[in-house]
């Protein structure tokens, strides 16, 4: 019952925050005006600038910012215990993440849909614009490379998810044509599409799991480029090229709307399963995992500051400012929708992160069913339940959680000291991070009588769909960033949408398919440690732009200034720790690729802060107006 109470309190907190703090920001700070002209109307081109109903743009925005971030981050962070992770998700979402997303959206809406990087040039200075855009470019390159690998690995680990994810694409195109060419209604066909996706999930789970490794007789990762991860990554990047140059109404919007239904249904099932499991005592958060862990792996980093960069998307994420100012601001049909889209979507993502934390602890503790390496390649499962003697009820205990996370076993030495043998922070690869949520969520769905294999399929498709949505949105965002950089240096080839998109994806593919110890593709995953710190530093820089926007309009800034300090300090601290800590730091271990990247990111951050300090003294009340529309460069040809 305590598990259910914690979940309910978290959800109620988000609802209260939306109707109090969110409304205060919308009315008193940003002064949203439903009658104001917005970029989607002023610059309408039916490609990127498309006025869209708030329910549809909410679906696009939410599925784009979610991805695997609110799944992977909390799944890692419960190493330190579920309580610190839960507190950071709830408090961070309400007072930092939602403010960041909402603020970036409003700033872009008031600046003709320009990205936060472009706005930085007017609010802070021309050099700040180039610095911010360059940070965006590096961050998006990492996002594209890593998320391409993430989805490729999900398809490999969970072949039952592949069919449903790809079936969604022609369904979305058909819905897009139906709505925007024939004026049809989106709700009914999107629900029908969701039903077809669930049928495809069942087919993938029981009849036709699409396992390229088994079909082609190749390895997941190998010493040649003929391996499953490489093939899926290249296929995904080809899809991204097509999806990101098409008008948003063709694929992006309807697919994201379908995905939003998928998420709502999956979350409803998870919460209902959590309620049943919590009410009956099958799921017990307190008994399953420690609130504050003591037996953490010896090579794990300290909770301060790493909690704040490990859980990113579930609490605050710099990537969200790119979505808010890159695509969503070009589609919002009324300023009055900004709170619903910007603030509301982030709170829903916080709710997802809460469910992930509970699934990775209480869900796993219900009784483990493991998917082994052999069964993964064959599309099968190995079920292993820990049962009470003479009972059919799983034991709810911390040993199951410890085993699932490979933290290791507690061993008492002859002198009475307790040590941890086995496991370790480095042993927690992508498989463990993602499957912790998939397996724990499957346990919750099983509480409702849903077959375990079908529950696994539902969870795997949910993860893959979100990651794919983030991937194609990030490709479109990178195109915008390259266009703005090309304008800055007057390099015309990258102002072409096709050349810019191809350049972005070729570069991302080169990074993703770096040669590593396990072959092509494994090297790209070495960049994963950079993602958290770089992403959160970007959030701090976005807050800086929001603060300057408010200062120049003589608005209060404390609610954005304090989060700005947090999001500049914590990621920088974490990056420096990873670079210089003795013995295990990047410099000490000779990992000069990561070290060099870290140096560049830290230098850009310091430079950006210096630019802000210089601009501060003349900023109060000095708001630079936009140039006349006829002289402004739009993105209609991007």
CA dihedral sign of residues 427, 402, 582, 145: positive
DSSP state of 52: B
Tell me the Cα Rg of the chain: 24
Phi, psi of 135 (to 5 degrees): -65, -40
Instruction: Report whether pLDDT(479) > 50.
Output: yes
Res. 238: pLDDT tops 50: yes
Measured between alpha carbons, how far is 180 from 152 in angstroms, rounded to an integer? 32
Mean pLDDT of 106-117: 92
Higher pLDDT residue, 379 or 211?
A: 211
CB-based burial, 305-330: b 16+ in 10 Å, e otherwise: bbbbbbbbbbbbbbbbbbbbbbbbbb
Is the dihedral angle over the CA atoms 244, 246, 251, 252 positive or is it negative? positive
Give the tens place of pLDDT for each residue, 128-169. Answer: 888 888 888 888 888 888 888 888 888 888 888 899 999 989
> What is the pLDDT at residue 341?
96
The pair phi, psi for residue 519, each rounded to 5°, is: 110, 180
- State percent of the chain over pLDDT 70: 84
Average pLDDT over residues 22-30: 96
The answer to whether the bond into 534 is cis (omega within 30° of 0) is no
Closest CA to 68 of 431, 491, 526: 431
Write down the pLDDT at residue 370: 43
Q: Mean of the pLDDT values across residues 69-75?
A: 79
Give the domains, in start order, of the chain with CATH numbers. 2-385+424-631 (1.20.1730)
- What local confidence, expressed as pLDDT, does residue 76 receive? 81
Residue-wise pLDDT tens digits, 546-561: 999 999 999 999 999 9
Give the pLDDT confidence score for residue 566 in this predicted structure. Answer: 95
| pLDDT for position 271 | 83
Predicted local distance difference test score (pLDDT) of residue 371: 45
Q: Which of 84-88, 190-194, 437-441 has the highest mean pLDDT?
A: 84-88
pLDDT, residue 349, reads 92
* Average pLDDT, rounded, for the chain: 82
Are 252 and 472 in contact by the 8 Å Cβ rule? The answer is yes
- Higher per-residue confidence, 234 vs 290: 234
Q: Which long-range contacts (CB under 8 A, 24 or more apart) does 589-598 make?
A: 591/526, 593/526, 593/527, 594/526, 594/527, 594/529, 594/530, 597/138, 597/527, 597/530, 598/530, 598/533
The three-point CA angle 561-564-570 to 5° equals 140
38-67 pLDDT, tens digit per residue, is 999 999 988 889 898 898 899 889 888 887
Give the model's pLDDT for residue 184.
67
Alpha carbon dihedral 94, 98, 100, 106, in 10-degree steps, equals: -130
What pLDDT is attached to residue 248? 79
pLDDT value of residue 550: 95
Terminal C-alpha separation, the chain: 54
Confidence of residue 606 (pLDDT cuts 50, 70, 90): very high
Angle at 426 between CA 372 and CA 605, to 5 degrees: 130
pLDDT at 404 over 90: no
For the segment 369-380, the average pLDDT, to the nearest whole number, is 38
Q: Check residues 573 and 281 and name the one with the higher pLDDT.
A: 573
The residues pairing with 409 across neighbouring beta strands, listed in sequence order, are 421
Return the structure tokens found at 299: 């090579």
* Centroid of chain to Cα 225: 28
What are the tens digits of pLDDT across the range 449-471?
A: 888 888 888 988 888 887 888 88
In this predicted structure, what is the pLDDT of residue 411? Answer: 46
> What is the distance between the alpha carbons of residues 102 and 322, in angstroms, rounded to a whole number?
12
Evaluate if residue 418 carries a pLDDT over 50.
Answer: no
The encoded tokens of residue 343 equal: 């603030």
From CA 188, how far away is CA 256, in angstroms rounded?
15
Reported as a pLDDT band with limits 50, 70 and 90, residue 348 is very high
Confidence of residue 426 (pLDDT cuts 50, 70, 90): very low
Q: What is the pLDDT of residues 516-553, one digit of tens each?
A: 666 677 666 667 667 788 888 899 999 999 999 999 99
State residue 611's pLDDT score.
92
Residue environment code for 122-137, b if the CB has 16+ CB neighbours within 10 A, otherwise e: bbbbebbbbbbbbbbb
* Residue 579: per-residue pLDDT: 92
pLDDT bin (cut points 50, 70, 90) of residue 501 is very high
Q: Answer whether 240's CB lies under 8 Å from 408's CB.
A: no
Residue 373 has pLDDT above 70, yes or no: no
3-state secondary structure 551-617: HHCCCCCHHHHHHHHHHHHHHHHHHHHHHHCCCCCCCCCCCHHHHHHHHHHHHHHHHHHHHHHHHHC
Distances from the Cα of 225 to the Cαs of 44, 89, 155, 513, in angstroms? 43, 39, 17, 9
Higher-confidence residue of 349 and 46: namely 349
Residue with the two structure tokens 């495809």: 200
Distance, CA of 30 to CA of 27 (rounded, Å): 6
DSSP notation for 373-394: HHHHHHT--EE---B-TT-SSB
How many C-alpha atoms does 252 have within 13 Å on its Cβ side? 34
Query: Higher pLDDT residue, 146 or 565?
Result: 565
pLDDT, one tens digit per residue, over 172-208 is 898 888 877 776 677 788 889 889 999 999 999 898 8
Whether 405 has a pLDDT exceeding 70, the answer reads: no
Residue 237 has a pLDDT of 94
Q: Identify the residue with better confidence: 353 or 394.
A: 353
- Please give the structure tokens belonging to residue 282: 């099958």
Positions of E strands within 62-169: none
Predicted pLDDT of residue 333: 94
The pLDDT of residue 462: 85
Cα–Cα distance, 313 to 66 (Å, whole number): 7
- pTM score, two decimals? 0.85
Q: Which sign, positive or negative, has the C-alpha torsion 607, 613, 614, 619? A: positive
pLDDT at residue 429, as a whole number = 56
């Amino acid at each position: 019952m305590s598990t259910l109470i914690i979940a309910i309190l978290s959800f109620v907190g988000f609802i209260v925050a939306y109707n109090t703090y969110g409304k205060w920001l919308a009315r008193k700070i940003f002064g949203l005006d439903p009658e104001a002209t917005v970029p989607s109307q002023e610059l309408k081109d039916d490609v990127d600038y498309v006025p869209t109903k708030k329910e549809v743009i909410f679906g696009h925005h939410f599925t784009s910012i979610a991805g695997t971030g609110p799944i992977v981050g909390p799944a890692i962070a419960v190493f330190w215990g579920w309580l610190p992770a839960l507190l950071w998700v709830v408090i961070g979402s309400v007072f930092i993440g939602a403010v960041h997303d909402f603020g970036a959206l409003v700033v872009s809406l008031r600046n003709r849909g320009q990205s936060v990087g472009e706005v930085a040039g007017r609010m802070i200075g021309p050099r700040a614009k180039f610095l911010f855009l360059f940070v965006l470019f590096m961050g998006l390159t990492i996002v594209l490379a890593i998320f391409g690998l993430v989805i490729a690995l999900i398809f490999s680990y969970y072949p039952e998810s592949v069919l449903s994810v790809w079936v969604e694409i022609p369904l979305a195109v058909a819905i897009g044509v139906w709505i925007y060419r024939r004026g049809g209604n989106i709700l009914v066909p999107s629900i029908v599409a969701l039903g077809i996706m669930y049928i495809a999930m069942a087919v993938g789970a029981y009849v036709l799991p699409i396992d390229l490794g088994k079909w082609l007789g190749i390895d997941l990762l190998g010493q040649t480029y003929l391996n499953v991860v490489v093939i899926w990554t290249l296929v995904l990047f080809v899809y991204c090229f097509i999806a990101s140059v098409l008008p948003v109404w063709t694929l992006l919007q309807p697919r994201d709307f379908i995905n939003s239904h998928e998420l709502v249904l999956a979350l409803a099932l998870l919460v209902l399963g959590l309620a049943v499991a919590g009410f009956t005592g099958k799921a017990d958060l307190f008994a399953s995992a420690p609130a504050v862990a003591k037996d953490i792996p010896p090579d794990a980093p300290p909770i301060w500051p790493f909690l704040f960069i490990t859980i990113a998307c579930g609490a605050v994420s710099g990537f969200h400012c790119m979505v808010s100012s890159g695509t969503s601001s070009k589609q919002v049909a009324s300023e009055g929708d900004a709170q619903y889209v910007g603030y509301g979507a982030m709170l829903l993502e916080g709710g997802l992160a809460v469910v992930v934390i509970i699934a990775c602890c209480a869900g796993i503790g219900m009784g483990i069913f493991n998917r082994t390496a052999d069964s993964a390649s064959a599309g099968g499962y190995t079920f292993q339940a820990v049962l009470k003697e003479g009972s059919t009820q799983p034991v709810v205990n911390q040993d199951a959680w410890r085993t699932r996370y490979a933290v290791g076993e507690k061993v008492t030495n002859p002198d009475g000291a307790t040590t941890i043998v086995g496991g370790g922070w480095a042993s927690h690869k992508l498989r463990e991070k993602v499957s912790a949520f998939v397996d724990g969520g499957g346990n919750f769905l099983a509480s409702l009588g849903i077959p375990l294999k079908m529950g696994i399929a539902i969870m795997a498709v949910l993860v893959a769909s979100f990651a794919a949505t983030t991937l194609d949105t990030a490709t479109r965002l990178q195109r915008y960033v390259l266009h703005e950089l090309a304008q800055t240096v007057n390099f015309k080839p990258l102002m072409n949408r096709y050349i810019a998109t191809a350049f972005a994806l070729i570069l991302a593919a080169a990074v993703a398919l770096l040669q590593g110890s396990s072959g092509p593709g494994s090297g790209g995953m070495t960049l994963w440690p950079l993602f958290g710190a770089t992403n959160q530093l970007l959030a701090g820089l976005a807050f800086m732009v929001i603060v300057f926007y408010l200062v120049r309009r003589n608005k209060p800034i404390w609610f954005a200034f304090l989060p700005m300090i947090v999001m500049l300090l914590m990621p920088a601290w974490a990056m420096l720790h990873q670079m210089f800590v003795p013995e295990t730091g990047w410099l000490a271990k000779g990992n000069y690729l990561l070290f060099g990247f870290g140096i560049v990111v830290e230098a850009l951050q310091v430079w950006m802060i210096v630019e802000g300090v210089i601009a501060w003294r003349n900023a109060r009340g000095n708001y630079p107006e936009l140039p006349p529309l006829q002289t402004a460069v739009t993105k209609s040809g991007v």
